[in-house]
Amino acid sequence: MALKVYVDRMSQPSRAVLIFCKVNGIDYEEILVDISKHKHVAPEYKAINPMCQVPTVVVDGKFKLFESHAILIYICCAFPGVASHWYPSDPFQRSKIHSVLDWHHSNLRQSAGVLVWNTILAPRHGLPLKHPLVAEESEKLLVRSLSKLEDFWLKDGQFLVVSSQPSIADIRLVCEIMQLELLSEKDYDRILKPYKKVVQWIEDTRRATAPHFDEVHGILFKVQKRLRKRMATEPVNYNHLKSKL
Amino acid sequence: MALKVYVDRMSQPSRAVLIFCKVNGIDYEEILVDISKHKHVAPEYKAINPMCQVPTVVVDGKFKLFESHAILIYICCAFPGVASHWYPSDPFQRSKIHSVLDWHHSNLRQSAGVLVWNTILAPRHGLPLKHPLVAEESEKLLVRSLSKLEDFWLKDGQFLVVSSQPSIADIRLVCEIMQLELLSEKDYDRILKPYKKVVQWIEDTRRATAPHFDEVHGILFKVQKRLRKRMATEPVNYNHLKSKL
């Protein structure tokens, strides 16, 4: 089966799909859709994914699929040799994986990336920010989401569903949280450090998917270094931005 | 298998699960979690669903599951006799169902209900509104979502994935759009009428799930009647609300 994976490694769901493929020895071709160069809205990519988002996979040149959760589930089912803990066939465990992935859509997904975009990436790129309230609301939702991870989803074990082994949900949600690495060290620590189980779970997922986790996140850490260096010399005055809006 | 379904029929995902169970002759007990009376945040419900949302199902008094998409998939797999078109075993069709359900989370789900809440329900209930921009943004997202339904998801057939028969995705997405019935007739027509295929698809899904679709939506139409009667005599002055915020 020929698998083409259209991604931008600066996108959290793209990273999740890449790490998963690498960990499971899936043979694929990685094709960069450079969002910073607006390649995701180019007509040739629109023909592959009319939603203009990454990732997308194309199987045998014919079957096109987008949405990272759907892609991860598809690969688990279509490619032989994927260990069962990634997407267990037990109906209760499988349902829990669907449940946590669905929960993720309206919680972490609506908060971590939105916060990073509206406080760090957009102002740094000179792009228009949404109303400052969006950043405030997304931080509130992020804190509520982290609390639910700490007190509910991670209460029974090391990982989200299959207590001692990672599933596709662990990779996907941890990749989302990793976007917070682009915040200043102070903000990152302030937001994330109170959640001990979450911090440990990120580390456990990283170890369980080594060395691919760090390799795929390489570009994120490169951008982090550049951003934090700039933050040290020319800090973003968020109040100043507010008055502009 | 004893199935308890915790719902409030004013909630779109609750209605989707109820209609699906009724159409498929699933034996279940419906338990009202009255959101208007804050029963969803009561300790006894929190013990069932710590996210304080409806719907939730409890199977044989033990297995608790929330998130409507996960619930619909679980019922398709765990209950014998559910026709295959609802959640086909064909890997491509099944993946497309996951894809459209995932897409729904960040598009229709983030727009239709949010718009109705911020323009109709919250002011009518004297509850605090989010910033007026939230309503404006949600209408923009709703229009984009309806366009994608019209031009992409419904381009090949009568229904979303299995072209001639409904799947769980049709029930779920149509139930979300049905919340727009609470808008004024003028706003409803203005927003929805340009999308001919969408309007036809709502009607086709309604017919395919008759008489349960109308029965489960009964409370929505009752509230619509009351709201529209009030709108005629005391229209909501949204600009006035804006100045308060």
Judge if B50 and B106 occupy the same domain: no
Would you say A125 and A182 are in contact if contact means Cβ atoms under 8 Å apart?
no
Judge if A30 and A43 occupy the same domain: yes
**DSSP H or E stretch at residue B101:** helix B91-106
Judge if A170 and A191 occupy the same domain: yes
Cα of first residue to Cα of last residue in chain A, in angstroms, is 50
For the beta sheet containing B63-66, the strands, ordered from the edge strand earlier in sequence to the opposite edge, are B29-32, B3-7, B56-59, B63-66
**Which residues of chain A neighbour B128 with C-beta distances below 8 Å?**
none
The 10s digit of each residue's pLDDT in A206-217 is 999 999 999 999
Judge if A51 and A156 occupy the same domain: no
Name residues whose C-beta falls within 8 Å of residue B158's C-beta, 6 or more positions apart in sequence.
B164, B200, B201, B204
Residue A100 has pLDDT above 50, yes or no: yes
Distance from C-alpha of A10 to C-alpha of B186, rounded to nearest angstrom = 43
Distance from C-alpha of B15 to C-alpha of B213, rounded to nearest angstrom = 8
pLDDT value of residue A235: 59
Residue B235 has pLDDT above 70, yes or no: no
Judge if A144 and A71 occupy the same domain: no
Judge if A70 and A124 occupy the same domain: no
From A74, A99, A131, residue closest to B65, measured CB to CB: A99
Q: Of A82, A108, A138, which marks where a domain is finished?
A: A82
The 10s digit of each residue's pLDDT in B68-100 is 999 999 999 999 989 999 999 999 999 999 999
Residue where the block lists tokens 């994927």: A82
The 10s digit of each residue's pLDDT in A41-94 is 999 999 999 999 999 999 999 999 999 999 999 999 999 989 999 999 999 999
When divided into structural domains, chain B yields a total of 2
Judge if A139 and A179 occupy the same domain: yes
Judge if B78 and B90 occupy the same domain: no
Would you say A228 and A184 are in contact if contact means Cβ atoms under 8 Å apart?
yes
Mean pLDDT of chain B: 92
pLDDT value of residue B174: 98
Pairing mode, strands B3-7 and B56-59: antiparallel
**Which residues of chain B neighbour A109 with C-beta distances below 8 Å?**
105-106
Any idea what the CATH number is for the domain that residue B229 is in? 1.20.1050.10
Any idea what the CATH number is for the domain that residue B8 is in? 3.40.30.10
What the block records as the tokens of B172 is 């779920």
CB contact under 8 A, B69 and A102: yes
Q: Of B61, B82, B103, which marks where a domain is finished?
A: B82
Name residues whose C-beta falls within 8 Å of residue B3's C-beta, 6 or more positions apart in sequence.
B21, B26, B27, B28, B29, B57, B58, B59, B75
Confidence band of A240 (pLDDT split at 50, 70, 90): very low
Task: Read off the amino acid at residue B182.
Answer: L
Confidence band of A231 (pLDDT split at 50, 70, 90): confident
Q: Of B82, B100, B134, which marks where a domain is finished?
A: B82
Name residues whose C-beta falls within 8 Å of residue A212's C-beta, 6 or more positions apart in sequence.
A18, A19, A22, A23
pLDDT value of residue B119: 86
Judge if B103 and B64 occupy the same domain: no
Residue B241 has pLDDT above 90, yes or no: no
**Which residues of chain B neighbour A131 with C-beta distances below 8 Å?**
131, 133
Which residues from A are below 8 Å from B when comparing CB atoms?
Answer: 50-51, 63, 65-70, 73-74, 77-78, 91-92, 94-96, 98-99, 102-103, 105-106, 109-110, 130-131, 133, 137, 148, 151-152
H-type alpha helices, chain A: 12-23, 43-46, 68-78, 91-106, 112-116, 122-124, 132-148, 168-178, 185-192, 196-208, 212-216, 218-233, 238-244
Provide the residue range defining the domain that includes B76.
3-82
pLDDT value of residue A230: 87
Would you say B173 and B160 are in contact if contact means Cβ atoms under 8 Å apart?
yes
**Which residues of chain A neighbour B50 with C-beta distances below 8 Å?**
148, 151-152
Pairing mode, strands B3-7 and B29-32: parallel
Judge if A73 and A133 occupy the same domain: no
Judge if B41 and B132 occupy the same domain: no
Task: Read off the amino acid at residue B184.
Answer: S
Average pLDDT of the residues in B25-39: 95
The 10s digit of each residue's pLDDT in B143-198 is 999 999 999 999 989 999 987 999 999 999 999 999 999 999 999 999 999 999 99
